[in-house]
Structure 1
Amino acid sequence: MKKEHIVTVILLILIWWILAILVGNNVLIPTPIEVLHSTIKIFSDKSSYYAIYKTLVRVFQGYFLSLIIALFISILADKFNTVKLLFEPIQILTKAIPNVSYIIVTLIWLGSEGSVWVICMLVLFPVLYNNFIFTLENEDSELKDIQKIYPETFIKTTRLRTMPLLYGTFLSSSKVALGLGLKICVMAEILGQVKVGIGKHLYYARLYLDTSSLFAWTIIIIILSVIIDSIFNILIKFKEE
């Protein structure tokens, strides 16, 4: 973490502390010390680790399925213009539909336990697909001309040209998609009232006006997002080198 980031975090904590003192009501704004105690309490409970694990499993289930489908369709759309044209209306629909609509409809269809990763997949798919197809469409025109002069089989072209071309986009898109997927999954867990997950703890914290626990779980979500970002930043930096 850079020095500037540390300074920003310290300033935010100071502002938070001052606001908590001015308000004087821990239901509205708990102090950082109260939130720290709640965080320690969460990590001292073994069931909390299982809740985090279940949420992450749902995130990665939705992410990997959306990644596979987005890769497959974007490669086909790049090769066959008919596929691209057929898929354009679906692409527009997926971009236009609000995330909360996915959540509510999928919860009605599949119930709370089976719907979270499906919701994650539906939300992440257009993000990944749009980035993949944009990269393929903006390939160097000279390379495209060479491919027309010296055509290769679809499988060989995909292996030697398409996959290496999409690798950088895969890293940057996955970084964004997993961060978004974590937030979407937690939101779906709250609305669906799942039996196990971070969303369940946030739901009960709101229900019992336990704001310090609400803040503590939010901080845990932020930490998970930072870890995911850091991993992909390392991979992106390694690729550039």
Structure 2
Amino acid sequence: MKKEHGITVLILVLLWQVLSVVVHNDILIPYPIDVLQYLLQIITTQNFYQSVFQTIVRVCIGFGISFIIALILSIISNHSKVFRTLFEPIQLLTKSIPNISYIVITLVWLGSEKSVSVICFLILFPIFYNNFLFSMDNEPQELKDIARIYPESFFELARSKTIPMLIPTILSSSKMAFGLGFKVAVMAEILGQVRTGIGRQLHIARLNLDTTGLFAWTIVIICICFIIDWIFNQLINKKSNGG
């Protein structure tokens, strides 16, 4: 974290402290020290790690499936105009449906436990597919000319040229998609009232009017998203530096 970022966080915490003193109502705005104590308390429990693990697993499943299918379909679309034309209505449909509609419909069809990963897949797939296809559409003309001069099989071309060319797009898209998928998964867990997960803990805190717990678990989500961003930034920087 940069020094400027630390200063911004400190200012936000000070504002939070001032607001909590002015409001003086834990149900509305808890004190930062109370949230910190709550956070230190829950991270020593087994339930904390089970909740975080279950949510991350659900996100990884949806993320992985959407990434693989989007990569395959985008490569096929790039090589086949017929397939691309046939798939365009589905592409537009997936981009147009609101996220909340995905969540509600999937919960009705599959129930709470099975739906979170499916919801992540439905929401993340258009991001991957559109970004991959856009990147391939903007492939340098020199590479296209080389592919025409030295034709290769579909699979060999994908392995040797297309996928390596997509690495920067894969990293940047994955960074955005994983963070979004994590937040969507928590939302789906809350609406679906799953048995275990971060969304479950937020739901319980809401029912009990435990705003301190809500703030603490929100900080957990922020920290996880920050770690995810940091990991992908390291990978992107490594790739940019020729790693």
Q: Given the two structures, how large is their TM-score scaled by the length of structure 2?
A: 0.98
Aligned positions of 1:145-224 closer than 5 A: 145-224=145-224
Q: Deviations over 1:85-126 (max 9, x none)?
A: 111111111111111100100001000001110000100000
Partner of 2:128: 128
| Secondary structure class of the residue paired with 1:59 | helix
Partner of 2:67: 67
Cα-Cα RMSD = 0.7
| Secondary structure class of the residue paired with 1:151 | coil
User: 2:146 is aligned with what amino acid?
Assistant: I
Partner of 2:51: 51
Shift of 1:75: 0.4
Partner of 2:104: 104
Shift of 1:194: 0.2
Moved over 3 A (4+): none
Unaligned runs of 5+ in 2: none
Partner of 1:35: 35
Partner of 1:93: 93
Unaligned runs of 5+ in 1: none
How many residues in Structure 1 have an aligned counterpart in Structure 2?
241
Q: Given the two structures, how large is their TM-score scaled by the length of structure 1?
A: 0.99
Shift of 1:150: 2.2
Shift of 1:141: 1.4
Q: Deviations over 1:3-23 (max 9, x none)?
A: 000000000000111111111
Separation (CA, whole Å) in 2 of partners of 1:23 and 1:95: 42
User: 2:33 is aligned with what amino acid?
Assistant: I
Partner of 1:2: 2
Shift of 1:147: 1.4
Which deviates more from structure 2 when the two are superposed, residues 108-117 or residues 40-49? Answer: 40-49
Partner of 2:22: 22
Separation (CA, whole Å) in 1 of partners of 2:147 and 2:114: 44
Percent of paired sites with the same residue: 55
